[in-house]
Amino acid sequence: MGNVFVSLLYGFNFYLFGLIAIASALLFVTRKSPVAAALWLVNVMFCLAALYVMLDAQFIGAIQVLVYAGAIMVVFLFVVMLLNLGRGDADSDMRGSVGRIAAGAVGLALLAEVMVLARSRFPEELTLRAAQGLAPVDVTAGVIGPIAGPLFNEYLLAFELTSILLLTAIVGAVLIGKKRVTDAR
Amino acid sequence: MLAESLALSALLFTIGVIGVLTRRNAIILFMCVELMLNAVNLSFVALSKLHGVGGQVFVIFVMSVAAAEAAVGLAIIIAIFRHRQSVNLEDINLLKG
């Protein structure tokens, strides 16, 4: 009885957050003002964080809130306000009716493609099988431990490359963003 | 909940593509790309429940790449704004024949 109630509640919350995410995403692409669009996108990211937690990825959920909703979106809002674009233009930046119809057609085609792929049967070699002898998640390792293990062992090279990428991005962003000092000299 | 997650991921990705195709504001375009990255992250997390924790490790990589992309992209937008006083993509037509 209690188990059925929990699973019902789980399903209800899953669909609730999913619907909020879709509605927020639709509002996000239709808002004229960049600030309103950014705040709706933050809402999408919070809903996705809730879904990550429900999918047993609590650490990813926390990182989603910290990095995406907290850091990346703040950078976006900062740039919007730095360039003083908050009110949006007098006329909308939407493309004309041709562009909208083209976008709708491409979107429908993409969605149909994904749905067909989801329903079709693949040859045996192409299907993803659930890993057979996968070690059960070690509960004593907590939430972060199971992710940290592969991150610092199997994916160590990718991890180091990512840090080089971030360093390059920092240097590049500063170099592109700063005013030219050579002209003023 | 795997099928629902993948369907939601596909929907969010499609909304992101529609946003990229319909908007002219460069900053909103970047945000649409972030939405698409998020949609893919949802697929990774949903599949990691079935196929081991590697998917979640990949999500961390995607997030750091997204952060780097946002920083560099927004710096480029600021540099363009300094020249053109606009972030409208129609005004950035230097290479247009």
Which residues on chain A are in Cβ contact (under 8 Å) with B32?
29
Structure token digits, residue B92? 């950035």
CB-based contact B51 A57, cutoff 8 Å = no
Which residues on chain A are in Cβ contact (under 8 Å) with B4?
14-15, 18
- What phi and psi values does residue B23 have, to the nearest 5 degrees? -95, 155
Helix B26-51 vs helix B2-22: angle between axes, to the nearest 10 degrees? 160
Instruction: Tell me which of A72, A95, A155, A168 to substitute to probe the interface with B (most B C-beta atoms closer than 10 Å).
Output: A72
The per-residue pLDDT for range A37-52, each reduced to its tens digit, is: 999 999 999 999 999 9
Name the most confidently modeled range: A138-147, A163-172, B41-50.
A163-172
The per-residue pLDDT for range A116-127, each reduced to its tens digit, is: 877 777 666 666
Q: Which residues contact B20 (CB under 8 A, 6 or more apart)?
A: B29, B32, B33, B36
Per the model's pLDDT, the better-predicted residue between B66 and A178 turns out to be B66
Architecture of domain A1-88: Up-down Bundle (1.20)
Distance CA B97, CA B81 (A): 22
Structure token digits, residue B94? 């230097």
**C-alpha A143: how far from chain center:** 20
Supply the pLDDT for residue A90.
54
Distance CA A1, CA A132 (A): 32
Going by pLDDT thresholds of 50, 70 and 90, the confidence category of residue B88 is confident
Sign of the CA dihedral A34, A36, A40, A46? positive
Going by pLDDT thresholds of 50, 70 and 90, the confidence category of residue B3 is confident
**Is CATH 1.10.287.3510 the classification given to domain B2-88?**
yes
CB-based contact A63 B63, cutoff 8 Å = yes
Distance CA B71, CA A76 (A): 9
Instruction: Tell me which of B15, B84, B89, B92 to substitute to probe the interface with A (most A C-beta atoms closer than 10 Å).
Output: B15
B contact residues 26-85, partner A, Cβ 8 Å cutoff: 27-28, 30-32, 34-35, 38, 41-42, 45-54, 56-57, 59-61, 63-72, 74-79, 81-82
Of B12, B47, B82, Cβ closest to residue A25: B12
ipTM for this model = 0.92
Q: Give the residue-averaged pLDDT of B50-76.
A: 90
Which residues on chain A are in Cβ contact (under 8 Å) with B30?
76
Residue A159 has pLDDT above 90, yes or no: yes
Structural domain spans, chain B: 2-88
DSSP A6-17: HHHHHHHHHHHH
Average the pLDDT over each of A70-79, A172-181, B64-73 and give the range with the smallest value. Answer: A172-181
Distance CA B70, CA A8 (A): 39
DSSP chain B: -HHHHHHHHHHHHHHHHHHHHHB-BHHHHHHHHHHHHHHHHHHHHHHHHHH-THHHHHHHHHHHHHHHHHHHHHHHHHHHHHHHS--BGGG--TT--
Q: Give the residue-averaged pLDDT of B85-92.
A: 83
Give the residue among B63, B66, B50, B57 at the shortest CA–CA distance from A55.
Answer: B50
Residue A131 has pLDDT above 80, yes or no: no
Supply the pLDDT for residue A177.
81
Distance CA B77, CA A176 (A): 10
Minimum Cα–Cα distance from B7: chain A residue: A115
Average the pLDDT over each of A93-107, B19-33, B61-75 and give the range with the smallest value. Answer: A93-107
